[in-house]
Amino acid sequence: MLSRLARCVSNAGVCRAARQVVKGHGKHRLPAVPPPAAIASPRGHQTLATAAAASLPTVGAPPGVRHARTLDRERLLQLEWEDGTCSLYPFTWLRDNCQCPHCTLQSAQARSLLLADLDVHTGVDRVQLTENNKVTITWPDQHSSEFDPEWLKKRCFSPEARQARQEELFLNEREYWDSSLRIPTASFEEVLHDDKAALAWLLALRRIGIVYLKGAPVEQGQVARLSERIGYLRLTFYGHTWQVEDKPMANNVAYTSGKLSLHTDYPALHYPPGVQFLHCLAQAREGGESEVVDGFHMAEVLRRNDPEAFRTLSSLRIDFTDTGTDYCDFCVQSKNHIINMDNEGRVVRINYNNATRDSVLDMPLDKVQPFYSSLKAYVELMTQPENVVTYKMEPGDLVTFDNWRLLHGRKSYMSDATCRRHLEGAYLDWDEVMSRLRILRRAVHGEN
Ligand SMILES: [Zn+2]
């Protein structure tokens, strides 16, 4: 019994990945020069087709079930697939996920089975393969569950299958870049009206972290229109959308003509906006160029070159503050790691804006100097010319970028009464963007 289980576990290791995962971590690899496409590729830009290509899923017919049996002592269902691989499913999990109308509210695709009614030590009475290759389980109380093989295959517990499934759901693979990046570029109107173009836009936004859209009407309201393409925008104290202009008595350093050093927006919130849109309505004649850097890439370089600085910035929580009046009056305080990692040690968010970093520094005296030295090391790294991409927006350009990953800034500009620089901005969150991405993927590729 045990050797059979062991064999099955190792077999399960060859479960075919649901989609191809392209590793991008730590590499400066960029897609090859694209073939001519419908979208014009201005100098220094790449089309979306290539930027998104690596993220396209591989679709293939799943194998059928050759054989189903129970391993009663381990309380596992073992399925042998027609391709020779096999998968294991715990009895408890199967009972918990019974798809029958009693256990699942079909209209919401949600579990209606209560945990109070789940026997977490359940056995199985019998397992059968139906004529149309469904797996039916009869439970000791004679309740019966029927499972679709494709549904089961997607939920295989092998580490490889789980990893492939998580990548399909969350698209966590990133392609790191430096100053040689050609920013993926698409047509604003196409993204609004064509599902394929919209999907390519969001895939590239996730993977590369920045996508340039050209040809937006030169009037306010376009960032809101683009937000509606996804779902809805993120309201903050700066309003539904906000106007980046040189304003008297500015309530934010962005609303001046001064230089903005590389920063993420809104680390004064504990949940900063995930995605930012900026639409150029008027550009300064002199200055006002935009700068972006790949904060994840820079964090990985720091981790490699100066592990102590990385440890400091990813372990100390820093106070941020933002006070004023805009949409309404506000007095915001947060504590954030400058480099946020998830439980697996992956960098998942950068929180850094030197303007809103609080003078309150909540750490023991002996940590203060190491903190400053570490922050200096990270900022010096990200300001190296070989890491920074510089571009100047023109009226009708709309840049979309990952505010959890990129740091952005701008050069100072000459404020000029005849040609007032004016950008309109809006925020969204990644949950809503990823939701739209999954729906578009289903619409374009016909996936489940
Ligand atoms: Zn049921």
* Annotated domain spans of the chain: 62-158, 183-445
Over residues 254-274, the pLDDT tens digits come to 898 999 999 999 999 999 999
CA–centroid distance, 156 to ligand 1, in Å, is 20
Nearest-angstrom CA–CA distance, 331 and 320:
11
- Spatial neighbors of 141 by CB under 8 A, at least 6 apart, are none
CA–centroid distance, 154 to ligand 1, in Å, is 20
What are the residue ranges in the chain where pLDDT is below 50? 1-43, 54-57
CATH 3.30.460.10 fits 62-158, yes or no: no
- Spatial neighbors of 384 by CB under 8 A, at least 6 apart, are none
CA–centroid distance, 64 to ligand 1, in Å, is 23
Pick from 244, 86, 211: which is nearest to 156 by CA?
A: 86
pLDDT of residue 419: 77
Pairing of strands 144-147, 135-138: antiparallel
Nearest-angstrom CA–CA distance, 265 and 272:
7
CATH among 3.30.2010.10, 3.60.130.10, 3.90.550.10, 3.40.50.720 for 183-445? 3.60.130.10
| Long-range CB pairs of 37-42, under 8 A, 24+ apart, other chains included | 38/187, 38/190, 39/185, 39/186, 39/187, 39/190, 40/214, 41/185, 42/185, 42/214
Q: How far apart are the first and last CA of the chain?
A: 36
The DSSP bridge partners found for residue 88 are 78
CA–centroid distance, 75 to ligand 1, in Å, is 18
pLDDT of residue 50: 63
pLDDT of residue 48: 75
pLDDT of residue 45: 73
CA–centroid distance, 413 to ligand 1, in Å, is 66
Residue 368, both tokens: 């203060």
CA–centroid distance, 79 to ligand 1, in Å, is 20
Nearest-angstrom CA–CA distance, 374 and 338:
10
CA–centroid distance, 82 to ligand 1, in Å, is 27
Asked if 55 contacts 207 with a C-beta cutoff of 8 angstroms, the reply is yes
Residues counted in the chain: 448
Asked if 283 contacts 421 with a C-beta cutoff of 8 angstroms, the reply is yes
User: Which amino acid does the sequence have at 70?
Assistant: T
**The pTM is what?**
0.87
CA–centroid distance, 100 to ligand 1, in Å, is 4
How far from the centroid of its chain's Cα atoms is residue 96's Cα? 29
CA–centroid distance, 86 to ligand 1, in Å, is 25
CA–centroid distance, 113 to ligand 1, in Å, is 8
CA–centroid distance, 111 to ligand 1, in Å, is 10
- Spatial neighbors of 307 by CB under 8 A, at least 6 apart, are none
CA–centroid distance, 147 to ligand 1, in Å, is 11
CA–centroid distance, 102 to ligand 1, in Å, is 5
For the beta carbon of residue 133, count every other beta carbon within 10 angstroms: 13
CA–centroid distance, 98 to ligand 1, in Å, is 5
Asked if 104 contacts 112 with a C-beta cutoff of 8 angstroms, the reply is yes
